[in-house]
């Protein structure tokens, strides 16, 4: 069986494209249940490759199940899925086997919000405010940890957020 390992330092691309889940996590506990789309960046034979990525995840405590693949129509069962938060960093790990190729993913969840809007002022500091995505994107891009974004879609989202929250 062939093995391929794809490691993410940042899951910001997927966060920007996340379709929010119907359920809410417990205060302070991130939830990853929902549909996610983005780009997987990996090295193989000394070369860097980028592939499209789509996952439908179901989290139950620290257990993670669901499917993942290159798009919504080509999905494969997730194995050994886990969501672990330690020292305010959430790691999402799982494996997928496609055509005999075993791929292990290790994702780090970086959470933000357009314009930094959100949070709960009554959460006793657990959820007060959000990190502004517009600050996070250049930072992680400069570090080389963020795949190219759909800039027109991001600009449109920022415009809509401004209209909604600024009246």
The pTM of the full predicted model, rounded to 2 decimals, is: 0.60
pLDDT 10s digits, 111-147: 677 777 665 555 555 555 567 778 888 887 887 777 6
Q: What's the CA gap between 6 and 136, in Å, rounded?
A: 22
Domains contained in the chain, number: 1
CA distances from 117 to 75, 95, 130, 152 (A): 33, 34, 6, 20
Tokens standing for residue 14 = 């997927």
Q: What's the CA gap between 56 and 66, in Å, rounded?
A: 6
Q: How confident is the model at residue 63 (pLDDT cuts 50, 70, 90)?
A: very high
More confident residue, 110 or 1: 110
Tokens standing for residue 19 = 């379709």
Q: What is the mean pLDDT of residues 149-167?
A: 79
Query: Containing domain of residue 162, as a range?
Result: 2-166
């Amino acid at each position: 069986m062939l093995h391929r390992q794809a490691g993410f330092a940042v899951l910001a691309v997927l966060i920007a494209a996340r379709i929010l889940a119907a359920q809410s996590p417990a205060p302070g506990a991130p939830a990853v249940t929902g549909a996610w789309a983005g780009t997987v960046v990996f090295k193989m034979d000394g070369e860097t490759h980028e592939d499209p990525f789509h996952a439908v995840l179901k989290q139950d405590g620290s257990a993670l199940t669901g499917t993942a693949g290159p798009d919504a129509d080509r999905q494969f069962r997730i194995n050994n899925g886990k969501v672990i938060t330690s020292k305010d960093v959430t790691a999402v790990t799982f494996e997928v086997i496609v055509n005999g190729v075993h791929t292990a993913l290790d994702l780090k969840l970086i959470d933000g919000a357009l314009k930094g809007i959100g949070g709960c002022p009554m959460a006793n500091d657990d959820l007060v405010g959000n990190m502004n995505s517009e600050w996070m994107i250049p930072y992680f891009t400069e570090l080389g940890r963020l795949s190219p974004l759909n800039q027109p879609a991001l600009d449109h989202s920022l415009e809509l957020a401004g209209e909604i929250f600024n009246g």
